[in-house]
Structure 1
Amino acid sequence: MCGIAGIVGQGEANTDNMLCSIRHRGPDDEGLYTAPNLTLFHTRLSILDLSPKGHQPMQTPDGRYVIIFNGEIYNHLDIRSELSSRFAFRSTSDTETLLYGFAAYGTALFNRLNGIFTCAIYDSHTRKLVLARDQFGVKPLYYYHKDARFIFSSELKTIAGLPGIDKTIDYTALVNYLHFLYSPGEQTPFVYARKLLPGHYVTLSVDDPQHIQTHRYYEIPFAGQFTNQTEEKLLNELDEKLYKAVDRQLQSDVPLGFFLSGGLDSSAVVAMARRARPTEKLTCYTIRTAAGQQQYEGFDNDLPYARKVAAHLGVDLIEVEAEADIVRDFDRMIYHLDEPQADTAPINVWNICRQARQNGHTVLLGGMAGDDVFSGYRRHQALALEPLLALLPTASGRLLQRVLGTGPRTSPILRRMQKVALGLGKPRLERIADYFAWLPLATNQGLFQESIRNTLLDYQPRAHLLDSLHRIPEEQSLLNQVLFWELSYYLPNHNLNYTDKLSMAVGVEARVPFLDKELVAFSATLPPAMKMRRTTTKYLLRKLMERYLPHEIVYRSKTGFGTPLRNWFQSGQLTALTSKYLSEECLQQRGLFDSVAVQQLIQANQAGKTDASYTLWGLMAIESWFRQFVD
């Protein structure tokens, strides 16, 4: 796991500054490659082949191909065996496998890979550069493209720190960060800086960087075709595929550990690791939160469950205090996120990975994406209400909206009911797409100053989701359509982004076994009832885990990995931070948001009239981001 960056075209950059911006991603080694009109940068976190033979940039012996690579390829030994008769390998690193794989197969290589990766490969004969990102977007890659200048990096801060960058703001992206807590698709806050989409690659000539071509090489395989195998056979197949996914991700030449929340997904990963390594010492990390702060957020305390799983599987459990000096750490967190994401969960990732690194664990496996692959969110359970909502007369729906709208926003159950009620009367897919929203769009747009607000009136964030369904025209399952949205937008732009950024901030690699390519393909062929049976999410996965875990772990309710943000606002712990970023003076000076509207939102949230804690957090994140990436 590493940091990569590069510059094509006009404009100079200080080499030390470029490397410094991604050095936290690769503290073990660094290097650069230069050619006319091209500079490639690399910082290395050594995981496979710790020797100098794994140094990057890496070149083929004839010097034709040059690669910089960030990630892990879990099936690289299979690919290497195919190539062994054609190439003489000098190292045991997956980087060299990628290098020769590209020399042999070209861009067709990318969809043969099972792993997490971004890479840049330069062909010195054709003077072509290719950038690629893994199928599910586990690893990030940003690029800036304007006129004859093309810049890319693992992190947006590299681009923002260069002289001469056009920092024109994309206001629709700011709407996204308040609407979803993240910005879906390619958009970043900068008009000319984009995210390379998962499952895509870009090609360009280093002699003519004014023109780039983007290609999709992978699509999430929702095709509306489901297996007719018996439940018992599906259980056995899932057993082997999940086991293989975890086992292949245990490859490492450095010590590794595990995230263990005590939830089903992280517990399943540890259970499979114990099956694969029955006699080895396994070390897990969990968060210990202050008692009594979970109820207000609507989730249970994870710690007792994590302890029970650790005892059941015979693994060591290190409990990391969740205490955070949020006033001190807020700006640093936004700096590492690269984007003004409105979530507090990155703090927990940061704390765990910092402790793991101190303990010598450079790699951590976790249960992320289990909810997105097999169904696990409450919005998936809400789909069970669809037959009833379809029968509800319009007048009754309006009455329900008014009744629920008068209730307090401090109840987690009532908050969820209110979100469902807000969509009554809308077309079904629009209503379900709005389950991803944190604030009504009119309220969101009303937070902006009038001149900006007028440019946003025709912008509809849910269009990202609705328009994407044309990519899977044969998939008619409503649950699978929503899971497609999770895998395409929520997961790469939110959960995976903060997990990568905050783990790599301290030089730790986070792996995601549930995004094994073979496992995802298997899940797409499962009948929807094998994922959600009535309101029981992850049905087949739960049935499988009955073989490995205690019943109370398998069937515990969904919980979050966040912090007690609403409690922080209500208790006054964030008063100083709110005053620092959202004072009338600050808002007026920035010129983005309407100071009166924001102050009204703060007061309504404090009085419990609206649930706006995450929106206020997002507003503060945007201001912090502007100070660090724009000012």
Structure 2
Amino acid sequence: MCGIVGIISLSKSLDERKNTLHKMLQAQAHRGPDAQQDWHDATCSLGHNRLSIIDLSEEANQPMHSHCGRYVVVFNGEIYNYIEIKAALQNHFVFKTQSDTEVLLSAYIHWGNSFLDKLNGMFSIAIWDKIEQKLFIARDRFGVKPFYFYKNEEQFVFASEIKTLFAAEVPKLKNDKVWSGYLVNGTYGLPDETFWKNIYQLSPGHFAELSPVNKYDFQPKKWYNFEDRIHTIPQMNANTLKEEYSALLDDAIQLRFRADVPLGMNVSGGLDSSTLIALIHKNLPSKQKIEAFTFYCNDTNYDELPWVNDLLKDKPYHLNKVLLEVNKIPQLIEESCYYQDEPFGGFPTLAYSQLFKSAREKGIKVLLDGQGMDEAWAGYDYYHNNSNSLIQGTKSSPVKPEVLDADFNLLASKEVFPTPFSSKLQNLQYRDIFYTKIPRALRFNDRISMQHGTELREPFLDYRLVELAFAQPDSVKFDNGNTKWMLRQISQQLLGNKIALAPKRALQTPQREWMANELETYVQERISEFSNFDFVNKNQVQKIWEEYKKGNQENSFYLWQWINLSYLR
């Protein structure tokens, strides 16, 4: 887990590229506090911030060169099945390190672009071919690891974070379409978009090749065809599905134990987190230890400590209880806005961030969590109640487009998502996995983990698990009012009926109450700052805020939007 940067340019001098690359590496130094290195030739400059997880030696630092000397790679992420890939390549290469980076580069040399299909992991990759003067870039199936870029006819610049591109003097200009969509519809842009004009993402599951010869123009190609793969997976009877999915669960967990540093896990009282705890307890090698982390707010309406304590009472894992304190919220928001670069989830994201901070303070550099089960098994209520809402937990409108100038309001386009499946439920799941919930959750999580120099691993997003669950019929996912029905059947064997059959609880904080009470003065200051945008109607903002203070507090999402954006000026 690290940070990568690069500049490809014929027009910029070597000294100019070196100076810019140094600024870029410094801008994302938090992503890799263990080592920082760069490499340059007449056209290409590559840099790397390293967070050492596998093979802690200096030989595993990046940029890393191929044995033949032709290729140079920078890579952010982890290839969990690198040991198996290395074994398949053993007769073709003499490996000098124990790192997954060397295996990844060797796999690219041996298999070409098709090597991506063999990788089980999270990754953003850039490989420079010195002979052909060509850059190969790729991103993992679901976009766990980020890849941002800016290009014109003179250069191609990429990085792991948007602020890193600003450090390279890329202009900081609002992408009005995405900003408007966020405020009008609560959306966060399409997979290749960002909140900043001319700064793009390489879409998940895509790769591309580019060079100065074609003026850095490229057409990303889809290497992970989820839709086609789903059509090849059979719908299984209950017993076969339980057996196959359970075996994959064990393997996904075991692969993510591979690390040369201490491990931890983030837990809550929900089914997914409970399943994670049980699977770790079942599969963790006796020589490895792991600590648990959870947050609380000292509010019994929201805290999950009773459930977490109950889950861990017979487990040998020390529970670190991290308190989210209301008086620290303003500082946490300011810090998180800097690291996120774009709007993110509200107070729960702040609380979650504190778990990574606590883990790092204890010397734990890798944490596991339970992200991905709801999307794979159709666990959200709106999958089954004919709601098309992208935002959960509110009956009233979560957004207030009436505070926007009419022209700015019109910039928001209602996004239309592909519907490649005959099942309406599967199409909603597909939307959430590739366009809405998963992309934004992964972005939030990448930033808050890397903010504290820690790595987050999400075993339930192992593509084999997602594909197998997704491919099953609707009746396996929802039965007699029970969401994630088959997962609950599987989990009963690990957890018992009390937890496996419990209703879903959203992970929350007293955000609504704190905004109206302890944080009232702070909220007023921030929404006043938001009102200074030229597309905002100040009077409407103040009117809605006054109504909120008087008790119209069914949801606070729109207030969070205003606060969040006020830091992105």
Q: Which TM-score band applies after superposition, normalised by the shorter structure?
A: over 0.9
The alignment of Structure 1 onto Structure 2 pairs a total of residues equal to 559
What does residue range 209-288 of structure 1 map to in structure 2 within 5 Å?
209-221=215-227, 223=230, 227-277=234-284, 279=286, 280-288=288-296
1:479 counterpart = 2:425: yes
CA contact under 8 A between 2:398 and 2:557: conserved in structure 1?
no
What does residue range 44-443 of structure 1 map to in structure 2 within 5 Å?
44-163=50-169, 165-178=170-183, 179-180=185-186, 182-221=188-227, 223=230, 227-277=234-284, 279=286, 280-294=288-302, 301-324=303-326, 325-383=328-386, 420=387, 432=388
Shift in alpha-carbon separation, 1:138–1:89, aligned structure 2, 3 A: same
TM-superposed deviation, 1:277: 2.2
Counterpart Cα distance in 1 of 2:51 and 2:4 = 11
The one-character-per-residue Cα deviations of 1:577-598 (angstroms, maximum 9, x if unpaired) are 3232222xx4564313121222
CA contact under 8 A between 1:134 and 1:200: conserved in structure 2?
yes
1:592 counterpart = 2:545: no
1:8 maps to what in 2?
8
Shift in alpha-carbon separation, 1:542–1:588, aligned structure 2, 3 A: closer
Counterpart Cα distance in 2 of 1:85 and 1:435 = 52
Counterpart Cα distance in 2 of 1:442 and 1:497 = 21
The one-character-per-residue Cα deviations of 1:262-295 (angstroms, maximum 9, x if unpaired) are 211122122112111264543211112212342x
1:397 maps to what in 2?
none
TM-superposed deviation, 1:560: 2.4
Please, which runs of 5 or more residues in structure 1 have no aligned partner?
295-300, 384-419, 421-431, 627-631
TM-superposed deviation, 1:575: 2.1
CA contact under 8 A between 1:182 and 1:342: conserved in structure 2?
no
From 433, 444, 461, the equivalent of 1:498 is: 444
Shift in alpha-carbon separation, 1:313–1:451, aligned structure 2, 3 A: same
TM-superposed deviation, 1:305: 1.0
Aligned residue identity for 1:107:
N
Q: Scaled by the length of structure 2, what TM-score is found?
A: 0.93
TM-superposed deviation, 1:612: 4.9
Aligned residue identity for 1:532:
F
Q: Scaled by the length of structure 1, what TM-score is found?
A: 0.84
Counterpart Cα distance in 2 of 1:238 and 1:599 = 52
What does residue range 533-572 of structure 1 map to in structure 2 within 5 Å?
533-571=479-517
State the secondary structure of the residue aligned to 1:212: coil
State the secondary structure of the residue aligned to 2:321: strand
Counterpart Cα distance in 2 of 1:193 and 1:499 = 20
Aligned residue identity for 1:600:
K
TM-superposed deviation, 1:142: 0.9
From 375, 381, 402, the equivalent of 1:446 is: 402
TM-superposed deviation, 1:236: 1.4
The one-character-per-residue Cα deviations of 1:439-467 (angstroms, maximum 9, x if unpaired) are 999964432224433x52xx43332x2xx
CA contact under 8 A between 1:226 and 1:527: conserved in structure 2?
no
Counterpart Cα distance in 1 of 2:190 and 2:156 = 22
Aligned residue identity for 2:175:
D
1:30 counterpart = 2:36: yes
Counterpart Cα distance in 1 of 2:136 and 2:403 = 41
State the secondary structure of the residue aligned to 2:567: helix
Counterpart Cα distance in 1 of 2:436 and 2:266 = 20
Counterpart Cα distance in 1 of 2:549 and 2:47 = 48
Counterpart Cα distance in 2 of 1:443 and 1:316 = 41
Counterpart Cα distance in 1 of 2:351 and 2:398 = 32
Counterpart Cα distance in 1 of 2:225 and 2:181 = 24
Shift in alpha-carbon separation, 1:105–1:227, aligned structure 2, 3 A: closer
Aligned residue identity for 1:66:
V
State the secondary structure of the residue aligned to 1:270: helix
113-122 or 547-556, which deviates more: 547-556
State the secondary structure of the residue aligned to 1:548: helix
State the secondary structure of the residue aligned to 2:490: helix
The one-character-per-residue Cα deviations of 1:47-80 (angstroms, maximum 9, x if unpaired) are 1101112110000122211100111111111211
Counterpart Cα distance in 1 of 2:291 and 2:531 = 50
146-155 or 91-100, which deviates more: 146-155
State the secondary structure of the residue aligned to 2:108: helix
Counterpart Cα distance in 1 of 2:398 and 2:442 = 29
State the secondary structure of the residue aligned to 1:3: strand
1:508 maps to what in 2?
454
Counterpart Cα distance in 2 of 1:436 and 1:568 = 20
Counterpart Cα distance in 2 of 1:6 and 1:577 = 39
CA contact under 8 A between 2:191 and 2:204: conserved in structure 1?
no
TM-superposed deviation, 1:226: 6.6
Counterpart Cα distance in 1 of 2:210 and 2:53 = 30
CA contact under 8 A between 2:181 and 2:413: conserved in structure 1?
no
Shift in alpha-carbon separation, 1:319–1:587, aligned structure 2, 3 A: closer
Counterpart Cα distance in 2 of 1:312 and 1:236 = 26
1:577 maps to what in 2?
522
TM-superposed deviation, 1:223: 4.3
The one-character-per-residue Cα deviations of 1:582-629 (angstroms, maximum 9, x if unpaired) are 22xx45643131212222222233334464511111112112012xxx
TM-superposed deviation, 1:46: 0.5
The one-character-per-residue Cα deviations of 1:11-48 (angstroms, maximum 9, x if unpaired) are 54534321111111111111111122321110100111
TM-superposed deviation, 1:247: 0.8
1:601 counterpart = 2:554: no
CA contact under 8 A between 1:373 and 1:523: conserved in structure 2?
yes
State the secondary structure of the residue aligned to 1:320: strand
Aligned residue identity for 2:405:
Q
Counterpart Cα distance in 1 of 2:493 and 2:537 = 56
State the secondary structure of the residue aligned to 1:590: coil
State the secondary structure of the residue aligned to 2:516: helix
CA contact under 8 A between 1:182 and 1:341: conserved in structure 2?
no
Counterpart Cα distance in 1 of 2:433 and 2:441 = 10
Please, which runs of 5 or more residues in structure 2 have no aligned partner?
none
CA contact under 8 A between 2:396 and 2:554: conserved in structure 1?
no
Aligned residue identity for 1:263:
G
State the secondary structure of the residue aligned to 2:495: coil
Counterpart Cα distance in 2 of 1:276 and 1:565 = 37
Shift in alpha-carbon separation, 1:225–1:214, aligned structure 2, 3 A: closer
Aligned residue identity for 1:135:
R
1:394 maps to what in 2?
none
Identity %: 29
TM-superposed deviation, 1:434: 5.6
Aligned residue identity for 1:304:
P
Shift in alpha-carbon separation, 1:558–1:209, aligned structure 2, 3 A: farther
TM-superposed deviation, 1:133: 0.8
State the secondary structure of the residue aligned to 1:265: helix
CA contact under 8 A between 2:187 and 2:436: conserved in structure 1?
no
TM-superposed deviation, 1:207: 4.4
Aligned residue identity for 1:175:
S
State the secondary structure of the residue aligned to 1:61: coil
Counterpart Cα distance in 2 of 1:491 and 1:344 = 17
TM-superposed deviation, 1:227: 3.5
TM-superposed deviation, 1:438: 7.6
